[in-house]
Amino acid sequence: MNARLNRPGFLPIGIDVGSHWLKLAQLRRSPGGELALMAKASVELGSADHADPATRSRLVAEATRQALRNAPFKGRSYVLSLPASLTFVQHLKMGRLGADQMDKALQWELAGKLPYDPALAEVRHIVAGETHANNEVKQEVIAVAARRDVIVAHVDALSKLKLECQGVNVEPCAIVECFARLFRRAEDAERATLFIDIGASSTQAVVSHGPRMAFAKNIGLGGDQFDQAIGSALNLPIDEAHRQRLLRGGEGFDAAAAESIGRAITGPLSTLAQELTNCLRYYDSVFVNRPVERTVFLGGQAYDTALCQALAQRLSLPAQIGNPLKQIQIDSGLAVDGSCPEWAVCVGLCLGAAAGKGRAA
C-alpha cells in the first residue's frame, strides 16, 4: 500500500458529482493507522444533469458551498469525479508503446470514437493486461477521457470557494480504489469481481483483479428508466414510482403491487441484464482463464434489493450489496445507516487521492 495513504491526518475531500446529487466525504487516519469517516454531506443538484457546462459548474459550486457549510470538513484539498454523462471510457487493443508514443496513439485511436475531437479532451489510460488480436499480442488498454473545458469549468468554479484541486478521477477508478484496501492477500489479486454501480441515469460495470481494474464500461441506463417504466405502466408520479420500487422487496409490501412493479420494469431489466452479459462476454474474451467469481452492487439503486437479485440471477453470479465503509470507523455525530452503497465513489476519491492515484486535471 502506498505510504502516503498511511500518514496520519485528514485525507482530501472527495467530491462526487452525480446526475441528481452532489456527495462529499472526507476520511481521516489516526496515528494508529485506522481510517475513520469524519464528514459527509449530500446536496440535490436538481436539473444540473441537462445544463450547459457553465451552468452545471455553477450549480455544483453552489451545492459544494452548502455541503461545506453543513458538515465538519477540514482543509481545502479535494479530488473530483465528474458524472458519467461527461466522461468517456473505451477499451482499446494496442501494441506495446512508450509513454510519448502511447499519448499520440490514443489520440488517433479515439478519433471517431469520442463524441468530440480528442484534441479537446484530457485522456488518461490504464493497461489492464495482455490479449491476442490477429495472432498478435496486444495490450488491453482502458482509455478514459473528459472534455478539457468541462474539467476547467468545474475546477475554476470550485476555486472560487478557495478549494484546491488535487486531481480529477472517474467513477470506475474510484470504485476500484474504494475497495482496493480490502484486497490484501496474494490470492485476492487473482480474484475477479464485478462491481455494478447503478445510479439514477447510468450504470457502471467494473471488473477488478483484486486492487487492479481489468474492465470498465458506462451503461446509459439507471434507476430513472425503471421509475419511468413503473410510472407509465401504473399511472404513478415518478417520485411515488421510485418510492414503491425501493420498498417492494421489504416486509409488509403488498405482493400484488410488487408483481405489478416487476412486470412494469421487465423491459429495462432485460436491457440492463443484456448489457451486463455483453460486458462479461467481452471480459471473458480478454481474460480467458480468469472468470468473474462474484458481483457487488453499489450506487443509490442498490437499495432496490429485488432489482439486484433479479440481475444476479440473470448473470448466474453470487452477489452482495457492497459496503464502502467496511473497516472504516464512523466519527461520533455522523448519521450512517446500513452499508451506504451510494458512497463508494466518494470514499474511493478520498483513498485514491491519498494514495497518489487521482487523475490530474
Residue 293 domain-assigned (yes or no): yes
Residue 263 in this model has a pLDDT that exceeds 80: yes
Q: So what's the pLDDT on residue 354?
A: 66
- In this structure, the chain runs to a length of 361
Which one, of 200, 192, 198, 154, lies nearest residue 176 by Cα?
192
Q: Average pLDDT for residues 305-320, to the nearest whole number?
A: 97
Residues 6 or more apart whose Cβ sits within 8 Å of residue 185 = none
Distance CA 325, CA 132 (A): 38
pLDDT at residue 282 tops 80: yes
Assess if residue 138 is contained within a domain: no
Please count the structural domains in the chain. 1
The pLDDT, as a whole number, for residue 47 is 65
Q: What angle do CA 297, 278, 315 make, to 5 degrees?
A: 45
* Span 267-281, pLDDT tens digits: 999 999 999 999 999
* pLDDT value of position 105: 93
Does residue 356 register a pLDDT over 80?
A: no
pLDDT given for residue 6 in this prediction: 53
Contacts of 107 (CB under 8 A, 6+ apart): 118, 119, 123
Copy the grid coordinates of residue 199. Answer: 445510479
Instruction: Give the whole-angstrom CA distance, residue 289 versus residue 218.
Output: 24
90 assigned to some structural domain: no
DSSP per-residue codes, 128-189: EEEEEETTEEEEEEEEEEEEHHHHHHHHHHHHTTT-EEEEEE-HHHHHHHHHGGG--SGGGG
Residue 129 lies in a domain: no
Q: CA-CA distance, 148 to 119, in Å (whole number)?
A: 9
Is 123 within 8 Å of 106 (Cβ atoms)?
yes
- Residue 211 in domain: yes
| pLDDT of 251 over the 90 cut | no
Angstrom distances, CA of residue 211 to CA of 125, 187, 218: 16, 11, 20
Q: Residue 108: its pLDDT value, please?
A: 93
Q: Of 40-54, 113-127, 141-155, 172-186, which gets the smallest average pLDDT?
A: 40-54
Q: Which residue has the higher pLDDT, 210 or 6?
A: 210
- How far, in Å, CA of 125 to CA of 143, rounded? 4
Beta strands in 45-120 (DSSP E): 77-81, 87-94
Percent of the chain with pLDDT over 70: 94
Q: Report, as an integer, the average pLDDT of 167-192.
A: 91
The answer to whether residue 361 scores a pLDDT higher than 50 is: no
Residue pair 230/245 in contact (Cβ under 8 Å)? The answer is yes
Residue 5 has pLDDT above 70, yes or no: no
Domain with 213 in it: 187-322
Residue 304 pLDDT grade (very low, low, confident, very high; cuts 50, 70, 90): very high
In the prediction, which pLDDT does 355 show? Answer: 65
Question: Residue 300 domain-assigned?
Answer: yes
Q: What was the pLDDT predicted at 97?
A: 86
∠ CA 356-286-141, rounded to 5°? 40
Q: Which of 357, 358, 346, 353 is nearest to 37 (CA)?
A: 346
Mean confidence (pLDDT) of the chain: 91
Mean pLDDT of 155-163: 97
pLDDT digits (tens, 9 = 90+) for 82-136: 999 899 999 999 988 887 888 899 999 999 999 999 999 999 999 999 887 777 8
Give yes or no for residue 162 having a pLDDT over 90: yes
pTM for the model: 0.93
What pLDDT shows up at residue 243?
Answer: 95
Distance CA 269, CA 301 (A): 13
Answer whether residue 251 is part of any domain. Answer: yes
The DSSP string of 234-248 is: HT--HHHHHHHHHHT
Using a pLDDT cut of 90, give the percent of the chain over it.
78
The CATH number assigned to the domain holding 233 equals 3.30.420.40
* 239 close to 278: Cβ distance less than 8 angstroms: no
**So what's the pLDDT on residue 360?**
37
Alpha-carbon Rg for the chain, nearest whole angstrom, is: 20
pLDDT band of 1, cuts 50, 70, 90: very low
pLDDT tens sequence across 213-233:
999 999 999 999 999 999 999
Higher pLDDT, 156 or 1: 156
For residues 28-36, average pLDDT: 89
Residue 164 has pLDDT above 60, yes or no: yes
Give the mean pLDDT of 194-203. Answer: 97
Residue 263: φ, ψ to 5°:
-65, -35
Q: Is the pLDDT of residue 358 over 60?
A: no
124: in domain: no
| pLDDT of amino acid 48 | 60
Strand bridging mode 9-10 / 77-81: unpaired
β-strands 35-44, 329-330 pairing: parallel
Torsion of CA 131, 296, 88, 347, to 10 degrees: -120
- What confidence tier does 206 reach under pLDDT thresholds 50, 70, 90? very high
Cα–Cα nearest to 227, from 190, 264, 281, 282? 264
